[in-house]
Amino acid sequence: MKTLLGRQSALSNTLRQIHVINHFSPAVEALPKFEHRLEGAGLYPLKALDIETLQINVGKMCNQVCKHCHVDAGPSRTEIMTKPTMQHCLNAIQASQIRTVDLTGGAPEMNPEFRWLVESIRALGRNVIVRSNLTILLASAKYEDLPQFFASNNVHVISSLPYYEKKSTDRQRGLGVFEKSIEALRRLNAVGYATEPGNLSLDLVYNPVGAFLPGPEKELEVDFKRELKRVYGIQFSRLLAITNLPVSRFLDYLVESENLEDYMATLTQAFNATAAAGVMCRTLISVGWDGMLYDCDFNQMLELKVTPERSQHIKDFSPEALRHRTIVVNQHCYGCTAGQGSSCGGSVA
């Protein structure tokens, strides 16, 4: 599978993506605007609270090309965060009350300055999350010691595993991904991840393999823990259930499979005001590989920058300007507010 950019797909253009989720058909156009649903819940305009998490996308390069990737990441992507931009991130962290730094990609481990960044964040006394696709730990010899590196830096690892069975995982992420993921999880368990309560945290991310909402997070976690322990002897800390948002390659899948209209209708009908009040963008800032700032990772992929114009790049980071800012929303935001809600930390309602 190629990236949308590699295929020269029209949907590699973010303006085209926004047009499609708003105007794909009369049925899609007739759906209630997200702003109106927020207004009805007494939440419009949606305002940010204090910034607790800085999420940094260190590049779109990845060793996988997953079917539902909202980043359109892959081996051919060359966008990568430089060390000077990382230093701007560190300056912002040091000058703020941010406690958690969430590193993502692509495969964040592929950035040549990844280890330096992790160690620098830990030196500032902040918590580090790394979002790993797992297979990168087996991609080549230079990544094989990453489990030990993560453990020695007390990194909270959040790993993608769409399902506890091979067929569903490989269908979404590529042939052979499930078996490699299982081996990577074994290696993380071997260095102490999730093997004792309160020990190193290893969370798994579940997202549906098709055009439907995830089931209840706690019930899914019970199933995942039982089956992964029973069949493979693997342990993990928590399961995070995340809804697929109609962005990038998942949007392309919805269009190609003729599921876009039904899926958008499902999201709008499942709007949950409680979930809307707890969306992650209210306490998070997302940094793009080039240093631009966004309300969340999904807005980043649609190039919807934060509203305060004087603080739209990490070098100009201003907690005062960004705190209580008006969050930029569009129709894709229904994905985070549908049903039990969805965020990078799992369900919110």
CATH number reported for the structural domain that contains residue 268 in this entry: 3.20.20
**Contact by Cβ (8 Å): 68, 253:** yes
The whole-model pTM stands at: 0.97
Task: Name the pLDDT band for 59 (thresholds 50, 70, 90).
Answer: very high
Residue 345 counted as domain residue: no
Range of the domain at 282: 10-337
Q: What total number of domains does the chain contain?
A: 1
Q: Is residue 347 part of a domain?
A: no
pLDDT at 135: 97
Residue with tokens 């700032």, as numbered in its chain:
293
pLDDT of residue 192 exceeding 90, the answer is: yes
Nearest to 94 by CA among 116, 128, 115, 121: 121
253 located within any domain: yes
Residue 329 makes CB contacts below 8 A (sequence gap 6+) with 34, 35, 38, 46
**Residue 346 domain-assigned (yes or no):** no
Region 1-28: what's the mean pLDDT? 97
The mean pLDDT of 318-343, rounded to a whole number, is 96
Give the pLDDT mean for 47-73: 96
- Tens digits of per-residue pLDDT, 231-266? 999 999 999 999 999 999 999 999 999 999 999 999
The verdict on residue 134 lying in a domain is yes
Would you say residue 268 lies in a domain?
yes
pLDDT of residue 174: 84
- Whether residue 310 is predicted with pLDDT greater than 90 in this model: the reply is no
**Confidence check: pLDDT of 107 > 80:** yes
So what's the pLDDT on residue 190?
96
289 inside domain: yes
pLDDT average, residue stretch 160-188: 92
Mean pLDDT of 6-19: 97
CA–CA dist 333, 303 (Å, integer): 14
Q: What is the pLDDT of residues 196-244, one digit of tens each?
A: 877 899 999 999 988 999 999 999 999 999 999 999 999 999 999 999 9
Closest CA to 188 of 242, 217, 228: 228
The answer as to whether 1 is a domain residue is: no
